[in-house]
Amino acid sequence: MAEEPIKVGVISCAGEEIPEGTISRLSVRRVLEHLRPGQVVSLCLPLFLAGDGGERDFARDFPTITIDGCDKRCAQWGTEKYSGPVNAAFVVTEMLKDAPPLSGARSGRDLTEADLAAVALVAERLVQAIDGAARPAEEQAPAAVSCSCGCAASSKEIHL
């Protein structure tokens, strides 16, 4: 009998000043509600950074993926500082560098077709990372190799 997939935490950008923050949050909602309901847990970045033990414990004990709107990487930085390495880290500005320009909308009600396409693209990339992180440990790839100085020879960060 197959084991049930491991729950995966996702921490998205909290920045509302850039449209890519909105894209990151809407992508996570799409994954939570439509693409992987019941398999993904959304962790609250502001609570996480404020010291909430439940949020930090979950990120420490379960696979966690961050999705940042910009290269400040607040979600990734905070998660790694307080709970350890993440399984994958996405940056929306990097993911969409070759996509049509966003409208600048900061509300789900005002999205253009390009914005909706961006949400769909980011959500699909999240699903790929979630599916990889949710496999039982014995099915996952071997751990990253380290070099003689102790640094990771391969990065878990995903640059798309």
Q: What are the chain's domains?
A: 8-139 (3.40.50)
Return the top range by mean pLDDT from 43-57, 124-138, 141-155.
Answer: 43-57
Distances (CA, A) of 105 to 3, 11, 23, 112: 41, 21, 9, 8
pLDDT of residue 97: 92
According to the model, what pLDDT value does residue 2 have? 58
Q: Is 84 left (phi over 0), alpha (psi -120 to 50) or beta?
A: left
Task: Tell me the per-residue pLDDT of 54-81, one tens digit each, with 9 for 90 and over.
Answer: 999 999 999 999 999 999 999 999 999 9
pLDDT in tens, 71-126: 999 999 999 999 999 999 999 999 999 988 888 877 778 888 999 999 999 999 99
pLDDT higher than 60, residue 149:
no
Letter string b/e over residues 76-92, b meaning 16 or more CB atoms within 10 A of that residue's CB:
bebbbeebeebbbbbbb
The answer on pLDDT for 142 being more than 70 is no
Tens of pLDDT, residue by residue over 7-62, are: 999 999 988 888 999 999 999 999 999 999 999 999 999 999 999 999 999 999 99
